[in-house]
Structure 1
Amino acid sequence: MSLLREALASTGWLEQTRQLGMALRTTRSPGGLMVVGTPDDEPWHVTAHLADEARLSGLAQLSPTLLRWDPPPNAPAHLRVGLDRLQETGRGETLFIVSEQRAPVPLLERVDDARRTGATILAIEGGDPELESLAHDAIAVRPDEALITFDAAQHLVSMAAGEVRRASLRERLARLADWVTGPRVSD
């Protein structure tokens, strides 16, 4: 991924994915970040990456809830959450739509309802103007124009969401040296 980051440094993609990743972090509490796709393409991959980032970064609000179109009743509890969860959506929660294809009308209607109740709507999409118009923030990965793949965009966004910037030892030592040798008020 570091090679990809270097290659994309001057394209604007890193800033876009970082912005969307930071927007995912504004979710207030664990379980409030809901990830949904289309009936034919559930976003398992990005959901797993966000769960990893939540664990590794210590940012519990990144723990995603995968919303499924037709969850099997005998699936484990975390894989049985259906779209009816959107009826309870409110302020402080985030709905993250991951859809390479045009979003179906039933999804657009539910996204609009969630937005009206105060949820933040974010998306990685394949150039869907209707979905893009509903989202507070979105990245369009159009196959004919994109410098990166849809999968790579998901990786970059999830990595940016979990990015916890801590000063390196060198940076902390430099600050300490500045403090020790800095200007002093003398008597």
Structure 2
Amino acid sequence: MDIAQAALLRELLDGSDWVRRTRDFAAELRAAARLAPAGAAGRPGTTGPLLVGTPSIEPWHFAAHLRDEAAWSGLDELRPTLVRWRVPPGAPPHLAVSIERLESVRRSETVLVAAPGPAPVPLLERVADARRAGAVILALEDGDQELRGLAHHALTVPGGDPGDEPGGDFRPPGRNAEPAPGGFPFELTEHLVCAAAGEVPSLDAPGPGGRRRIFRDRLARIADALISPPPARW
């Protein structure tokens, strides 16, 4: 993340269709997490949505920020379980949940897919199996039509691509602005989703207007944090 990307986030604070769609996706995540079957969070090494990436890109930062939002907001059901394609020997329990976990999903559990690139066949197959088992599938993707077709709810990142490297130009939907340089980073969208997922009403600002102000405050803090060193892996 750099200053230009932080400036893009500040520009989005003015309000756009992209912010609305991000908040809608986060609301679906909250709703799905609340409907998880009793006892799912108590399964060994498992809590909250099952967050899985591609075999080549693990969503470390997404998991860490969503975990922080769960703690900040008091919504423990948002605390994710990172599902890994390869578990190294000696990994702690919360980092030792293998991809085989998707083979045992229960009805109404949530599978959150973060794919900043084409979803490979092994991932699509496991997501399809999880959906047939009754899991709620949410996908954050960069234009993969097959993955989007498997998801109950999907958010497509315009111009996003693996590793936050420069991609296609991005023009915030509904805004008359120049395309943002370097495309719209996938990790920036993860920040937005996390902030919106942790959105809670304020006692000082009840109602929809209050919730919007809280979200804008969260985004402002994220914009400030984007030019700081990234958090350590958890």
Same fold (TM over 0.5): yes
Match of 2:195 among 148, 154, 159: 159
- Check the 8 A contact 1:5/1:14 in 2, yes or no: no
Match of 1:47 among 55, 63, 77: 63
Name which of structure 1's ranges 89-98 and 108-117 shifts more when overlaid on structure 2: 89-98
Match of 2:158 among 142, 161, 176: 142
Are 1:100 and 2:116 counterparts? yes
1:107-186 correspondence runs (5 A): 107-143=123-159, 144=168, 146=170, 147=172, 148-168=184-204
What is the rounded CA distance, in whole Å, between the counterparts of 2:28 and 2:88 in structure 1? Answer: 31
- Check the 8 A contact 2:48/2:76 in 1, yes or no: no
What is the rounded CA distance, in whole Å, between the counterparts of 1:54 and 1:68 in structure 2? Answer: 21
Could you say which structure has the larger radius of gyration? 1
What is the rounded CA distance, in whole Å, between the counterparts of 1:103 and 1:167 in structure 2? Answer: 42
What is the rounded CA distance, in whole Å, between the counterparts of 1:44 and 1:118 in structure 2? Answer: 26
- The one-letter amino acid of 1:130's match is E
- Check the 8 A contact 1:32/1:92 in 2, yes or no: no
- Check the 8 A contact 1:94/1:121 in 2, yes or no: yes
- Check the 8 A contact 2:51/2:63 in 1, yes or no: yes
Deviation for aligned residue 1:123: 1.0
Give the match's secondary structure for 2:129. Answer: helix
Deviation for aligned residue 1:8: 5.3
**With structure 2 as the length reference, what TM-score do the two structures score?**
0.68
What is the rounded CA distance, in whole Å, between the counterparts of 2:70 and 2:60 in structure 1? Answer: 15
Deviation for aligned residue 1:73: 2.7
Partner of 1:181: none
Match of 1:84 among 100, 117, 128: 100
What is the rounded CA distance, in whole Å, between the counterparts of 1:115 and 1:32 in structure 2? Answer: 17
Deviation for aligned residue 1:151: 1.1
**Aligned residue pairs, count:** 171
What is the rounded CA distance, in whole Å, between the counterparts of 2:88 and 2:73 in structure 1? Answer: 31
Identity of aligned residues (%): 49
- The one-letter amino acid of 1:168's match is D
Please report the RMSD computed on the Cα atoms of aligned residues, expressed in angstroms.
2.1
What is the rounded CA distance, in whole Å, between the counterparts of 1:102 and 1:38 in structure 2? Answer: 8
What is the rounded CA distance, in whole Å, between the counterparts of 1:119 and 1:2 in structure 2? Answer: 37
What is the rounded CA distance, in whole Å, between the counterparts of 1:142 and 1:18 in structure 2? Answer: 16
Deviation for aligned residue 1:167: 3.6
* Structure 2 unaligned spans of 5+: 1-5, 42-46, 160-167, 173-183, 208-234
**With structure 1 as the length reference, what TM-score do the two structures score?**
0.84
- Shift in alpha-carbon separation, 1:8–1:138, aligned structure 2, 3 A: farther
